[in-house]
Amino acid sequence: MKKSHHNTVSRRNFIKITGSSLVAGALTGYSPFAIATGAKNVVIVGGGVGGATAAKYLTLLDSSIKVTLVEPNEAYYTCFMSNEVIGGNRDMSSIKFGYEGLAARGVNVVHDTVTGIDPDKRMVLTASGKSLPYDRCIMSPGVSMKYDTVDGYDESVAAEKIPHAWKAGPQTELLRAQLEAMKDGGTVAIAAPPNPFRCPPGPYERASQIAHYLTNNKPKSKILILDAKNKFSKQGLFVEGWSKHYGYGSDNSMIEWVNGDDGGKIEAVNPDTMTLTGDFDDFTADVINLIPAQTAGKIAHTVGLTNDSGWCPIVGNSFESTIIPNVHVIGDASVASPMPKSGYSANSEAKVCAAAVVALLNNGEIPQPSYVNTCYSVITPEDGISVAMVYGWDGEKIVKREGSGGLTPGGENRSDANRALEVQYAHSWFNNITNDIFG
């Protein structure tokens, strides 16, 4: 794959610096007088999609800002395309990204875990004992799993035997290895979480990828999707794809989907007997992928950025927390509805947030934002589908732009050629967005 060497961004006119800082300040609770003179510090918590994008765009938009990115891991594995790794069509190395690109842009990358913040002194505190001063802090800690919603499930069970693989990395490899080791005629159970959760079409894309692998390698096997919900993202298109490729709906279907009302919601797991307990039935499987309910990344709870929903309320044109001033939350952890919790959303939100932070630090006006999301799902290597939407800001909240968006055509309007193209667009998206985030 060719890498772009012109990975700089035109920033002319992106930020309008005006004298109206007091207006901006009044709207957001930002006080221009509390900022110390000299270089401004922005500390970013989490080097995933949201955090890494924000770090890069801050350096591009205002090179005078000192950007520090705190992330425990030396490498980031993207969740997107990790379902292709699980299906066997992609290597782990192709979803692995490092922080050299950001470091070369002048971002101070600190490999450490954030343990708290001091909002009065404006300090980010880390496990190794560092206190990092900030004028503005951006948090993009992603999600944490609510293990306590499933009896018998916890982090070590997930790491060793019953992976969720909902953060790409060792659990992605574990699930892949379990599928490879499974006998033909085995059963794979996928427990899909209740809303809201990271990547709404993700569990169903995963089922498709696993079905593709099993069809070609272990065709007598079954996939049981046990769902906490009664409907799911792109359902019509997934069901159509499963019918076409995997016999869904027939007696011989490889995939079976049990909805919440019919007992698909999982209450308990027994790793020794490989059994899941639903409201009505027990389900035994050879491989279990248990994706539990989710909430904002743990650190967001620790520092008090979450409300009763378990997610972080923000103002959508700056992503500044409505709870703690000078702290912004982007990505999955934030409440940015109607935008979904996706990588494309996190990337788009990070750019809006970076622009707002630069404006606020320079006593400027928060720019009018624009946001986009497109989520691709790969059902087979020749059948891709997507959902897309353009979003705007109405002065109070993020809104869908009228007329935009929607799904890949299905049914009578289905085009095989288009579906094959969508897979190529999905891979193009992967190449381009990872270059945009880490390049």
Partner 1 sequence: MKKTIYTVQALMMSAFMLSNYVQAATPTAESLAYTCFGCHGVNGNSQGPATPSIAGLDKNYIADTMQAFKTDKRPGTIMGRIAKGYSDEEIELVAGFFAAQKSNTAALIAEPKVVASMPNKLDETWNAQMQFALLDYLSSDKKTSVEVTSQIDIQTTNPLEVKR
Ligand X SMILES: Cc1cc2nc3c(=O)[nH]c(=O)nc-3n(C[C@H](O)[C@H](O)[C@H](O)COP(=O)(O)OP(=O)(O)OC[C@H]3O[C@@H](n4cnc5c(N)ncnc54)[C@H](O)[C@@H]3O)c2cc1C
Please give the residue ranges that form the binding site for partner 1 (CB under 8 A). 1-14, 16, 57, 317, 344, 347-348, 351-352, 355, 367-372, 374, 386, 388-395, 399-406, 408, 415-418, 421-422, 424-425, 427-429, 431-433, 435-436, 439
Contact 351, 337 (CB under 8 A): no
Shortest Cβ distance from residue 395 to partner 1 (Å)?
4
Shortest Cβ distance from residue 429 to ligand X (Å)?
8
210-233: string of b/e by CB count within 10 Å (b at 16+)? bbbbbeeebeebbbbbbbbbeebb
Shortest Cβ distance from residue 98 to partner 1 (Å)?
17
Residue 36: CB atoms within 10 A of its CB come to 10
Contact 384, 376 (CB under 8 A): yes
User: Binds 351, which of partner 1, ligand X, none (CB < 5 to 8 A, cut-off by type)?
Assistant: partner 1
User: Binds 113, which of partner 1, ligand X, none (CB < 5 to 8 A, cut-off by type)?
Assistant: ligand X
Tokens coding 120: 């009065």
User: Binds 204, which of ligand X, partner 1, none (CB < 5 to 8 A, cut-off by type)?
Assistant: none
| Residue nearest ligand X by beta-carbon distance | 48
Rounded CA separation 427/439 (Å): 17
Residue 185: CB atoms within 10 A of its CB come to 11
Cβ proximity to ligand X: between 21 and 82 the closer is: 82
Strand duo 108-110 + 123-126: pairing? unpaired
Shortest Cβ distance from residue 142 to ligand X (Å)?
3
User: Binds 70, which of partner 1, ligand X, none (CB < 5 to 8 A, cut-off by type)?
Assistant: ligand X
Q: Where along the sequence are the contacts to ligand X (CB under 6 A)?
A: 45-51, 70-73, 76, 79-80, 82-83, 113-114, 140-142, 166, 198-199, 202, 206, 297, 299, 331-333, 341-344, 346, 375-376
Shortest Cβ distance from residue 4 to partner 1 (Å)?
5
343-361 vs 416-438: helix crossing angle, rounded to 10: 40
Residue with token string 């875990």: 113
User: Binds 80, which of ligand X, partner 1, none (CB < 5 to 8 A, cut-off by type)?
Assistant: ligand X
DSSP annotation string for 273-324: TTEEEESS-EEE-SEEEE---EEE-HHHHHTT---TTSSEEEETTTTEESSS
Strand duo 282-284 + 320-321: pairing? unpaired
Cβ proximity to partner 1: between 99 and 153 the closer is: 99
Cβ proximity to ligand X: between 317 and 373 the closer is: 373
Strand duo 287-290 + 187-192: pairing? parallel
Shortest Cβ distance from residue 54 to partner 1 (Å)?
12
User: Binds 141, which of partner 1, ligand X, none (CB < 5 to 8 A, cut-off by type)?
Assistant: ligand X
User: Binds 263, which of partner 1, ligand X, none (CB < 5 to 8 A, cut-off by type)?
Assistant: none
Contact 372, 396 (CB under 8 A): no
Shortest Cβ distance from residue 334 to ligand X (Å)?
8
Rounded CA separation 132/113 (Å): 12
User: Binds 246, which of partner 1, ligand X, none (CB < 5 to 8 A, cut-off by type)?
Assistant: none
Cβ proximity to ligand X: between 45 and 174 the closer is: 45
Q: How many helices (H) and strands (E) does the chain have?
A: 11, 26
Cβ proximity to partner 1: between 44 and 433 the closer is: 433
Contact 79, 97 (CB under 8 A): no
* Phi and psi at residue 100, to the nearest 5°: -60, -40
Shortest Cβ distance from residue 103 to ligand X (Å)?
16
Cβ proximity to ligand X: between 66 and 206 the closer is: 206
Cβ proximity to ligand X: between 298 and 414 the closer is: 298
Cβ proximity to partner 1: between 305 and 339 the closer is: 339
The residues pairing with 227 across neighbouring beta strands, listed in sequence order, are 192
Cβ proximity to partner 1: between 153 and 391 the closer is: 391
Shortest Cβ distance from residue 78 to partner 1 (Å)?
13
By CB neighbour count within 10 A (0-12 exposed, 13-18 middle, 19+ buried), where does 10 fall?
exposed
In 153-297, which ranges are E strands?
187-192, 222-227, 255-258, 266-270, 275-278, 282-284, 287-290, 294-296
Cβ proximity to partner 1: between 162 and 335 the closer is: 335
User: Binds 166, which of partner 1, ligand X, none (CB < 5 to 8 A, cut-off by type)?
Assistant: ligand X
